[in-house]
């Protein structure tokens, strides 16, 4: 990324903005836009309107009039009174300011907490104004907000499916690692890495959903770096590639195929570990097991196999 200066944030929004403003001072800017990254729907028109507003005010922010009726209610939900909604606005970001004015306002603010930058400006007596905001500037807070914003932005979302398969041979050892969980067993699994067939199949499925080839291409077994590697490294890499491809993992489903060890007692831990690494709610992670009724290489316990299917919503 060109010309981006990252600054360590604070424990609160106010503290983070204060740190950002202090770091920006060295570039001597005339104006500054302070934006919630959780509002990706910013359009050029809003930027132009904010710049325009700064010609006659110290600060400006986009805002939308409140359209729903407003009532105040007690903790028990009982309605107490009606709040007039005229001239009430929902304030969005970016909030734009003349740099020197907002920097001084933040300096004066000490360690106090403010809801937003307009509040800091207001406390310092700066002249601020609202400009018309946009529905597309909505803040992404809940999982369902992504679909709403995508619909508003006209983004095309396509649901992509990926599948993966992996197998490892049993050998000497006293445990296996499956879906990130160490399971005591009278044999081990042979592999260049930790031989976690469950996560390897899952990595291949994730790569498949975004058209990114297979695990061998990303982590060649000939590369000494991956000898004995923890498969969490592979899974994290695949997760990051999905995000970089504009994808969001919807759900994952892994099937472990073996006669032994018994998977059932470890399934919840496997789901929890997998969900943690992928940053998914565990309800979207399913791990199940089957045998092949003593047929084939898994039936003869020569090795163990795993299959995975994932669904990834990709925006284009």
Number of shown-chain residues binding Mg ion (CB under 5 A): 2
**Under the criterion CB under 5 A, does residue 200 sit at the interface with Mg ion?**
yes
Q: Which residue's beta carbon is nearest to the bound Mg ion?
A: 200
| Least Å from the CB of residue 301 to Mg ion | 18
Q: Exposed e or buried b for every residue in 217-240, given b needs 16+ CB within 10 A?
A: ebbeeeeeebeebebbbbbebbbe
Radius of gyration of the chain (CA): 27
**Under the criterion CB under 5 A, does residue 185 sit at the interface with Mg ion?**
no
Give the nearer residue to Mg ion in terms of CB position, either 166 or 307: 166
Element at 184 (helix H, strand E): strand 181-184
Give the nearer residue to Mg ion in terms of CB position, either 233 or 315: 233
Give the nearer residue to Mg ion in terms of CB position, either 20 or 191: 191
| Least Å from the CB of residue 168 to Mg ion | 6
| Least Å from the CB of residue 231 to Mg ion | 8
Stretch that binds Mg ion, among 43-51, 108-116, 169-177, 198-206 (CB under 5 A): 198-206
Report residue 239 CA to chain centroid gap.
10
Q: How far apart are CA 163 and CA 148, in angstroms?
A: 28
**Under the criterion CB under 5 A, does residue 194 sit at the interface with Mg ion?**
no
Q: Phi and psi at residue 236, in whole multiples of 5°?
A: -65, -40
Structure tokens at 308: 């995975």
In 3D space, the residue among 134, 78, 82, 124 whose CA is nearest the CA of residue 103 turns out to be 124
**Under the criterion CB under 5 A, does residue 166 sit at the interface with Mg ion?**
yes
Total number of residues shown for the chain? 316
Question: Looking only at residues 7 through 66 of this chain, which bind Mg ion when binding is defined by CB under 5 A?
Answer: none
| Least Å from the CB of residue 293 to Mg ion | 24
Give the nearer residue to Mg ion in terms of CB position, either 129 or 236: 236
> Site residues (CB under 5 A) for Mg ion?
166, 200
């Amino acid at each position: 990324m060109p010309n981006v200066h990252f600054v360590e944030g604070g424990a609160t929004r106010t503290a983070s903005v204060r740190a950002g403003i202090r770091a920006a001072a060295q570039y001597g800017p005339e104006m500054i836009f302070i934006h919630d990254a959780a509002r990706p729907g910013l359009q050029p028109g809003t930027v132009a309107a904010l710049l325009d507003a700064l010609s006659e005010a110290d600060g400006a922010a986009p805002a939308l009039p409140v359209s729903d009726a407003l009532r105040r209610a007690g903790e028990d939900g009982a309605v107490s009174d009606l709040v007039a909604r005229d001239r009430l606005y929902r304030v969005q970001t970016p909030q734009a300011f003349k740099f020197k004015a907002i920097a001084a306002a933040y300096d004066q603010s000490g360690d106090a907490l403010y809801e937003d930058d307009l509040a800091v400006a207001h406390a310092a007596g700066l002249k601020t104004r609202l400009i018309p905001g946009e529905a597309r500037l909505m803040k992404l807070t809940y999982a369902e907000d992504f679909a709403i914003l995508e619909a508003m932005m006209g983004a095309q979302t396509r649901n992509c499916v990926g599948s993966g398969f992996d197998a490892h041979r049993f050998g000497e050892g006293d445990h296996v690692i499956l879906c990130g969980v160490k399971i005591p067993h009278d044999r081990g699994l042979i592999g260049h890495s930790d031989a976690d067939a469950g996560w390897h199949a899952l990595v291949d499925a994730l790569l498949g959903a975004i058209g990114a080839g297979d695990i061998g291409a990303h982590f060649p077994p000939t590369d000494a770096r991956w000898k004995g590697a923890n498969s969490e490294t592979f899974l994290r890499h695949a997760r990051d590639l999905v995000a970089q491809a504009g994808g969001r993992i919807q759900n994952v489903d892994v099937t472990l195929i073996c006669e032994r060890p018994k998977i059932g007692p470890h399934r919840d831990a496997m789901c929890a570990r997998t969900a943690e690494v992928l940053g998914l709610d565990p309800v979207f992670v399913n791990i199940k097991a089957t045998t092949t009724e003593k047929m084939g290489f898994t039936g003869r316990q020569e090795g163990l196999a795993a299959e995975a299917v994932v669904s990834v919503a990709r925006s284009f």
